[in-house]
């Protein structure tokens, strides 16, 4: 527009050096100054406020989810893994909480664990796990851990409802969730064991005391009924217990 630093500075009431700093990204102008700059430069100013994109909102931690999360945490801790629950991660406008990180110092294996009491949108969960897996290394280092590989697992509350939803989504599960209960138990016993690409998927019953506490979904050949019919029956049973 043929304006010098001095001309623009005089128009908005600041020094030429401040205009230079704004142009070079070295100043933090007030909104009032931005408005004055826009008027002097004959620009239209629009301000858009957007909430952050929330993944795995920590407010979903209801009683049943807390029971399952605590149960999984105890299982890993008693097996010698280091654990951290509700690990906050932020990248740009994306904001989420990893339900559980489990780390084996000897092998350098880091597990990113997402816990669901219901299975609503498998595609969204898979994208969420992918983002968590990419962000987990940095989060682990902040905890003082030095992972050499990252693996992500989806653990579902063991209900007939989740079994039914898994069968309905069998075509989507096959390519993305290649790790199944036998692979996951093998990794728990030997954290240095090889892992096929893709996420792991299994079910859990927070009331179970079995040594092999990861449960195969019906999709993978389990014939027995799930411990709970649905979320409501699980909540009722666990509260009574």
pTM over 0.85: no
* Structure tokens that stand for 49 in this block: 């406020």
The reported pLDDT for the residue numbered 136 is 93
The reported pLDDT for the residue numbered 63 is 82
Backbone angles phi, psi at 136, to 5 degrees: -70, -35
* Mean pLDDT for the chain overall: 88
Confidence of residue 51 (pLDDT cuts 50, 70, 90): low
How many of the other CB atoms lie within 10 Å of CB of 129?
A: 25
The reported pLDDT for the residue numbered 58 is 47
pLDDT tens for each residue of 170-217? 888 888 899 999 999 999 999 999 998 889 999 999 999 999 999 999
How many of the other CB atoms lie within 10 Å of CB of 156?
A: 25
What Å distances lie between residue 73 and 104, 146, 233, CA to CA?
13, 20, 23
pLDDT at 240 over 80: no
Rounded to an integer, the average pLDDT of 50-55 is 53
* Interatomic CA distance for residues 10 and 17, integer angstroms: 12
pLDDT tens for each residue of 63-107? 889 999 999 999 999 999 999 999 988 876 777 889 999 999 999
Name the residue with higher pLDDT: 235 or 52: 235
What's the gap between Cα 64 and its chain centre?
19
**Sequence-ordered list of residues with C-beta below 8 angstroms from that of 38, at least 6 positions apart, any chain:** 44, 45
* Structure tokens that stand for 174 in this block: 């096959």
* Interatomic CA distance for residues 206 and 241, integer angstroms: 11
């Amino acid at each position: 527009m043929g304006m010098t630093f001095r001309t623009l500075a005089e128009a908005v009431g600041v020094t030429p050096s401040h205009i230079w700093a704004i142009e070079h990204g070295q100043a933090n102008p007030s909104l009032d100054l931005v408005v004055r700059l826009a008027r002097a430069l004959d620009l239209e100013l629009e301000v858009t406020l957007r909430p952050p994109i929330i993944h795995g909102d920590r407010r979903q931690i209801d009683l049943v989810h807390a029971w399952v999360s605590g149960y999984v945490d105890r299982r890993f801790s008693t097996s010698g893994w280091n654990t951290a629950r509700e690990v906050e991660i932020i990248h740009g406008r994306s904001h989420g909480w990893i339900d559980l990180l489990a780390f084996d110092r000897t092998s350098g294996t880091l597990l990113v664990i997402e816990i669901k009491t219901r299975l609503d949108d498998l595609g969204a969960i898979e994208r969420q796990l992918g983002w968590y897996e990419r962000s987990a290394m940095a989060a682990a280092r902040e905890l003082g851990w030095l992972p050499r590989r990252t693996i992500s697992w989806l653990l579902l509350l063991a209900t007939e409802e989740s079994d039914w939803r898994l069968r309905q989504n069998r075509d989507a599960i096959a390519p993305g969730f290649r790790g199944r209960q036998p692979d996951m138990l093998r990794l728990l016993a030997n954290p240095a064991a090889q892992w096929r690409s893709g996420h792991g998927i299994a079910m859990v019953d927070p009331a179970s005391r079995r040594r092999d506490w990861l449960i195969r979904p019906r999709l993978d050949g389990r014939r027995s009924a799930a411990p709970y019919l649905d979320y409501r029956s699980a909540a009722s049973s666990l509260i009574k217990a």
